[in-house]
């Protein structure tokens, strides 16, 4: 069992399958990034592996334009989520299993959101302790 203390910290272990693409902002992503609904977003999805190269959790990040290399601060919220079929397949778990959904947003020094991410962490593998 791992404990997530800082959702803004980079993952220190390898990543497995990943994907990149673009999509339009739905109402949730538009609110988190403070952009109009329908804005073209870039996204990246990573399967994060534990030290033994087993799937640990999933991270999907969205941003507008070029991805920022730096940020000033971040915020995060945790809630329970049930794995989708695709998430379950990637994590080797049945869909519908409870997982933590951490929604993290990173901000520039002026307070503008530069990216937002959904982190999906299975509850049988993770405890959450946010500061």
User: Mind listing the pLDDT tens digit of every residue in the chain (131 residues)?
Assistant: 888 888 888 888 888 888 999 999 999 999 999 999 999 999 999 999 999 888 999 999 999 999 988 899 999 999 999 999 999 999 999 999 999 999 999 999 999 999 999 999 999 989 998 76
Q: Specify the pLDDT at position 48.
A: 93
Q: Are strands 40-49 and 15-24 parallel, antiparallel or unpaired?
A: antiparallel
> Is 50 within a domain?
yes
Q: Specify the pLDDT at position 12.
A: 84
Q: Specify the pLDDT at position 108.
A: 96
**Cross-strand bridge partners of residue 101:** 79, 120
> Is 96 within a domain?
yes
Q: Specify the pLDDT at position 3.
A: 87
> Is 123 within a domain?
yes
Q: How far is CA 56 from the centre of its chain?
A: 13
Q: Specify the pLDDT at position 25.
A: 98
Residue environment code for 63-95, b if the CB has 16+ CB neighbours within 10 A, otherwise e: bbeeebeebeebebebeebebeeebbebbebee
Return the CATH number at 23: 3.40.1410.10
> Is 7 within a domain?
no
> Is 6 within a domain?
no
Q: Specify the pLDDT at position 13.
A: 86
Give the count of domains, the chain.
1
**Cross-strand bridge partners of residue 48:** 15, 57
> Is 47 within a domain?
yes
Look up the domain containing 47 and give its range: 16-128
> Is 58 within a domain?
yes
> Is 2 within a domain?
no
- Tokens representing 35 are 């952009």
Contacts of 110 (CB under 8 A, 6+ apart): none
Q: Specify the pLDDT at position 10.
A: 84
Cβ atoms of residues 66 and 103 within 8 Å: no
Q: Is 114 left (phi over 0), alpha (psi -120 to 50) or beta?
A: alpha
């Amino acid at each position: 069992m791992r404990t997530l203390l800082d959702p803004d910290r980079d993952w220190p272990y390898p990543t497995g399958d990943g994907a990149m693409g673009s999509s339009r902002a739905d109402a949730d992503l538009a609110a988190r990034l403070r952009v109009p609904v329908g804005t073209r977003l870039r996204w990246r999805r990573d399967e994060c592996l534990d030290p033994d190269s087993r799937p640990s959790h999933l991270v999907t990040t969205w941003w507008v334009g070029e991805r920022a290399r730096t940020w000033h601060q971040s915020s995060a919220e945790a809630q329970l989520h049930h794995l989708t079929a695709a998430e379950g397949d990637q994590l080797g778990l049945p869909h519908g299993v409870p997982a933590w959904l951490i929604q993290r947003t990173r901000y520039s020094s002026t307070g503008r959101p530069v990216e937002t991410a959904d982190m999906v962490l299975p509850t049988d593998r993770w405890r959450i302790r946010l500061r």
